[in-house]
Chain A
Amino acid sequence: MESNPVLTEGATQASVCEMPTADAYVVHHITNLRLPKGSDPMDPFVLHLDTMIVSWVLGLFFLFFLMMAARRATAGEPGKLQNFVEMLVDFVDNTVKESFHGPRNFVGPLALTIFGVVFLWNLMDLVPVDYVPYAVCKLGFANYFRIVPSADINAPFGLSVTVLGLIIIYGIKGKGLGGYGKELFTHPFGANPLLWIPNLILNVVELIAKTVSLAMRLFGNLYAAELIFVLIALLPWWIQFVPGGAWAIFHILVVPLQAFLFMTLTIVYLSLAYEKH
């Protein structure tokens, strides 16, 4: 499953693309391609170009795929592509319908986008860990290239911060500005003015916890999985297929599960914000 040109054939070729030690190899595989080059590792005002490129490519692929089906959608007998996409839409729509009891013309597409995009992000973890970084390095583009956006903490947080914004918007939409504000101050302990501040603090913490847990659940799963693939790639080449195969098979379960969880929790959070208790 995991090819390791760096540690097998790589031993004889001296090049910047090969990592001499296991340490350097692992660090190389968990380092993003940062812009601008040579910036301070702790400087947050940088861009992870690899994450952006991969997620745009995957997102555009996802959109192209869906739009092809949507453009030729007929109410008559559906083709194979339309059938598959309809199944996906139907599955997402049903999941939304179960938890969210409001208009679905935005929440439906939101859920479908989350599911599709996160699924494709996670799927990148099944690409053997050395292929893309090695190719990118050999072609002279860059020294680092991580291809699993969900294993870069900034991508899951990008989604969950958007979801946080949507939670607040849906809270206001469902209960009105006053209603939502009132809930922030009087829920869960009660309407006593003395409890306003504790209520607000608790609600803010809850919102932050939702955002963080949403992002960290996805990131943690995929980061750990990626790291394990990298560690498996350090084994001798003739034994890699055993743990690598087992982990990849297990991963087939994790990939859609994490996408589904992210989608479902988003819907549940929006529904909690939108509906009156």
Chain B
Amino acid sequence: MLPSIWTLVGQAGTFLVFIWAVMKFVWPPLTQAMEERRQKIAEGLAHSEQAEQALDRAQAEAEEVLRGARRKAGEIIEQASARSNQIVEEARQSAVAERDRQVAAAEAEIRLATNQAREALRERLAELAVAGAGQVIEKEIDAKAHRELLDKLSAQL
């Protein structure tokens, strides 16, 4: 409780020294670091907002691309199915044509064979008829002499 001038003066001096030291070595680095961190955080927040917007944009774009791709795929499938129908139709038509052709060919062959058989039969019949007539008249007919007659006969059959 007693007064002490030198203590008072000493305390004032000590106090000034400490203020000076705090002002010189403590306050600036700390406030600077805090300010820098504040700016960093502000920047980070701004970046994250930008990134969010970019993400939104990218998502919208992706959706657009996807929708286009789906539309395109639908078109391709439609085209393919039309083409396949066309191919089937063509194949069917060519098969029908082939069948008709083969049937016609077979029919022509059959007709030819029939005609040949008929021709052979006619000749055979003519021979038979001549042989029969020869036997009937019991006289050998000169084949050469009657050739013309026989041919005329076989043509009439």
Q: Is the CB of B37 within 8 A of A76?
A: yes
- Chain B's nearest CB lies how many Å from the CB of A48? 4
Interface band, chain B: 20 to 34
Q: Does A2 contact B (CB under 8 A)?
A: no
Q: Does A131 contact B (CB under 8 A)?
A: no
List 20 additional contacts besides A82-B33, A113-B18; criterion CB under 8 Å: A46-B4, A55-B14, A56-B14, A66-B26, A75-B40, A86-B30, A86-B34, A90-B34, A106-B19, A110-B23, A113-B19, A113-B22, A117-B18, A153-B1, A154-B4, A154-B5, A155-B11, A159-B11, A161-B8, A162-B12
Interface residues of B (CB under 8 A from A): 1-12, 14-16, 18-19, 21-23, 25-34, 36-37, 40
Q: Is the CB of B7 within 8 A of A63?
A: no
Q: Does A59 contact B (CB under 8 A)?
A: yes
Q: Does A70 contact B (CB under 8 A)?
A: yes
Partner among B4, B10, B30, B36 whose Cβ is within 8 Å of the Cβ of A70: B30
- Chain B's nearest CB lies how many Å from the CB of A47? 4
Chain A contact residue count (CB 8 A cutoff): 52
Q: Is the CB of B4 within 8 A of A75?
A: no
**Contact flag A66-B16 (CB < 8 Å), given A32-B2, A157-B8, A158-B11:** no
Partner among B3, B14, B23, B30 whose Cβ is within 8 Å of the Cβ of A105: B23
Q: Does A41 contact B (CB under 8 A)?
A: yes
Q: Is the CB of A70 within 8 A of B26?
A: yes
Question: Whose C-beta in chain B lies nearest to the C-beta of A156?
Answer: B11
Q: Does A187 contact B (CB under 8 A)?
A: no
**A89 contacts across to B, CB distance below 8 A:** 27, 30-31, 34
Q: A47-84: which have CB < 8 Å to B?
A: 47-48, 51-52, 55-56, 59, 62-63, 66-67, 69-71, 73-76, 78, 82
**Contact flag A154-B8 (CB < 8 Å), given A75-B40, A76-B37:** yes
Q: Tell me what chain A mostly uses at the interface: helix, strand, loop, or mixed.
A: helix
Alpha-carbon distance between A106 and B12 when the two chains are bound, in angstroms: 16
Partner among A56, A70, A105, A223 whose Cβ is within 8 Å of the Cβ of B29: A70
- Chain B's nearest CB lies how many Å from the CB of A76? 7
Alpha-carbon distance between A155 and B25 when the two chains are bound, in angstroms: 24
Q: Is the CB of B27 within 8 A of A109?
A: yes
Q: Does A112 contact B (CB under 8 A)?
A: yes
**Contact flag A62-B33 (CB < 8 Å), given A41-B2, A47-B10, A159-B11:** no
Q: Is the CB of B7 within 8 A of A155?
A: yes
Q: Is the CB of A159 within 8 A of B12?
A: yes
Q: Is the CB of A85 within 8 A of B19?
A: no
